Amino acid sequence: EVQLVESGGGLVQPGRSLRLSCTASGFTFGNYAMSWVRQAPGKGLEWVDFIRSTAYGGTTEYAASVKGRFTISRDDSKSIAYLQMNSLKTEDTAVYYCTRVGGGGSGWPDDYWGQGTLVTVSS
Amino acid sequence: EVVMTQSPATLSVSPGERATLSCRASQSVSSNLAWYQQKPGQAPRLLIYGESTRATGIPARFSGSGSGTEFTLTISSLQSEDFAVYYCQQYSNWPRTFGQGTKVEIK
C-alpha cells in the first residue's frame, strides 16, 4: 500500500524557515517523481514544486510564487522528499500535501497524496 | 501559465442523478488532464487522468472525456459519497495548474 506521511509543519514567524519531510512507503521511491501541492484555508489547490526521479536527472520545477525561496529535494536511500521553505510569508500559510507523481518524469498526474501538514506563518 | 476554468462553481444534484462537470484550458493541454475529488478534511484523490483513464479503485460511474481545451467529468448516478469538491488539473505545461473547483452538493 502506497503511503505518504508529511511532517514538519507548524507555526513560524514571517521571514523564518521551515523544512517539511515526506516519508514514503509501499513503492520503489526512486522510480517516481515527487511533488508538493498546497491549499490555503478555505481555498483551492496550488501546485508548488516538482522533482523528477534520478533516472530523469532529478531536476526540479517551481511555481513562480515560491521560486528562489523554496527548495525541493529527495533522499532515495531513505525514501524521503523534502521541502525547504525560506523567507516565509503570511501568504504561504496552507496545508502542504506531498504527492507521488505517476512516473519518473513529467507527463503524469499526482496519483497518491499524503494527508497534509499545516504550515501557519504568523507573527 | 495555462489557466484552468471550471464550471459551474456549484452543482446541486439529487442522489441517483447524473452530474456533468466542465473544465476549460486557456490553451491546449493535449490529453494531459486529471480530475481529483476532495472531501472535507481529506486529501484530494485522483479520479481520472489522460482525459479518460480511471485511477486505481475508482468506480465505473466516473468517466472523463475531451481533449485539447475542453474536458468533462461525468458521474453517471450520484451516490452519497460523491458529494465533494472536484478539481481539474493540467500537467502538460509548467507550472502545473488547477481549476478553482466545482462543489457537488445535495439538492
Confidence band of B14 (pLDDT split at 50, 70, 90) = very high
Q: Are the beta carbons of B11 and B19 closer than 8 angstroms? A: yes
Q: Is the CB of A115 less than 8 angstroms away from the CB of B43? A: yes
Which residue out of B91, B93, B97, B102 would a mutagenesis test of the A interface target, given it has the greatest number of A Cβ atoms within 10 Å? B91
Q: Is the CB of B98 less than 8 angstroms away from the CB of A106? A: no
Q: What is the pLDDT of residue B35?
A: 98
Q: What average pLDDT does chain A have?
A: 97
Q: Write the pLDDT tens digit of every residue in A2-33.
A: 999 999 999 999 999 999 999 999 999 999 99
Q: Write the pLDDT tens digit of every residue in A32-46.
A: 999 999 999 999 999
Q: What is the pLDDT of residue B77?
A: 93
pLDDT at A100 over 90: yes
HSE-up of residue B105 (Cα within 13 Å, Cβ side): 9
Provide the residue type at B24 as one letter: R
Q: What is the pLDDT of residue A105?
A: 83
Q: Write the pLDDT tens digit of every residue in B75-92.
A: 999 999 999 999 999 999
Instruction: Find the residue in B nearest to A110 (Cα).
Output: B46
Q: Is the CB of A107 less than 8 angstroms away from the CB of B32? A: yes
Confidence band of A103 (pLDDT split at 50, 70, 90) = confident
Task: Determine the distance in angstroms separating the CA of B34 from the nearest CA of chain A, rounded to an integer.
Answer: 6
As a whole number of angstroms, the distance between CA A50 and CA A36 comes to 7
Residues in chain A within 8 Å Cβ distance of B94: 61, 106
Mean pLDDT calculated for residue range B53-63: 96
Q: What average pLDDT does chain B have?
A: 96
Q: Are the beta carbons of A39 and A46 closer than 8 angstroms? A: yes
Mean pLDDT calculated for residue range B3-19: 97
Mean pLDDT calculated for residue range A66-94: 98
**Closest Cα partner for A67 from B1, B55, B22, B69?**
B1
As a whole number of angstroms, the distance between CA A61 and CA A77 comes to 22
Asked if omega into B44 is within 30° of 0 (cis), the reply is no
Task: Determine the distance in angstroms separating the CA of B61 from the nearest CA of chain A, rounded to an integer.
Answer: 19
Q: Write the pLDDT tens digit of every residue in B93-105.
A: 999 999 999 999 9
Instruction: Find the residue in A nearest to B41 (Cα).
Output: A115
Q: What is the pLDDT of residue B13?
A: 95
Q: CB neighbours of A89 closer than 8 A, spacing ≥ 6?
A: A14, A121
Residues in chain B within 8 Å Cβ distance of A63: 95
By Cβ distance, the residue of A64, A107, A110 closest to B95 is A64
Q: Is the CB of A97 less than 8 angstroms away from the CB of B43? A: yes
Confidence band of A98 (pLDDT split at 50, 70, 90) = very high
Q: Write the pLDDT tens digit of every residue in B37-51.
A: 999 999 999 999 997
Confidence band of A104 (pLDDT split at 50, 70, 90) = confident
Question: Residue A100: exposed, middle, or buried by beta-carbon count in 10 A (0-12, 13-18, 19+)?
Answer: buried
